[in-house]
Structure 1
Amino acid sequence: MADERNKISNKSIKPALNSVELLVDSSMLMQRPSEAISSPDNVQDWTETHVHEWLCKNDLPQMARILSGMDGLGLIYFSEHMLQSESQQVLLSLQQDSLRRVNENVSLIEISRLQSLFEKQDLATLAPRKQMTRNTKNSKSSRHCNII
């Protein structure tokens, strides 16, 4: 019986990961999510990765999946759209996008939390001034045309 135990304990066990893979995995575990990628101060300069990390860091996993591929400027325009559009239309559009992109029903809780984050960070006001100026010019010229 002692011989059988020695045979079992002396068997070499092949590790599932090699030492390099273990080192990479363990360093990722020790790294805090906020330290993983430092985001630029200006949201317009965020990459798709920055947006994804921001959504995940704020516990919005479904929004991170739905909005995958969106950069900082896209996030700003999206927040502006959510602010200016009717809530029913926003909900319907997000539901359609969610079903199409991730095959899930959209979470109303995550939408509400995302809107709250947008308002706290005042993202809608960060839209480039050039676009806002162009819209203002168009609205002024249409007023003048109506008067003349």
Structure 2
Amino acid sequence: MGNQTAKETKREVKEEPLKTESEAYNLQVFVYLTGNPDEVPYKANFGLVNKIEEEIQHLIEQNNLDLRAEECQLVMIKSGEKPQFLDRDKDVETYRNDLTPASTIVKLQSFTIPHGAQGAANLDSLNVNVKPS
């Protein structure tokens, strides 16, 4: 045993690879884009330093959605809690601890109201009292 070389006595240590810079500054979030009950959530990587408004724009662009970012919002729904609108002017970092894929649903919602009768029908489905004109 006294004749073992340093190479033979060295223990192999397995370490987790370090995250790349982009991974360290991103947060993986699953987002429902259409509201369709059969929808599979879209896996998005939100930049922690980005504003919620920027991430809404990215979601729309990356998924070719026919929506305007200024007419959309992200809604966070945690089990047993009321839905919370994410503040468009805040950084993603603000919500970092709440946006966990295991316990949180995030939905992209458009708050555009179509004109005419269709608009009234949509308002009615939101439990808003609509008076006919």
With normalisation by structure 2, the TM-score equals 0.29
More helix by share: 1
More strand by share: 2
With normalisation by structure 1, the TM-score equals 0.27
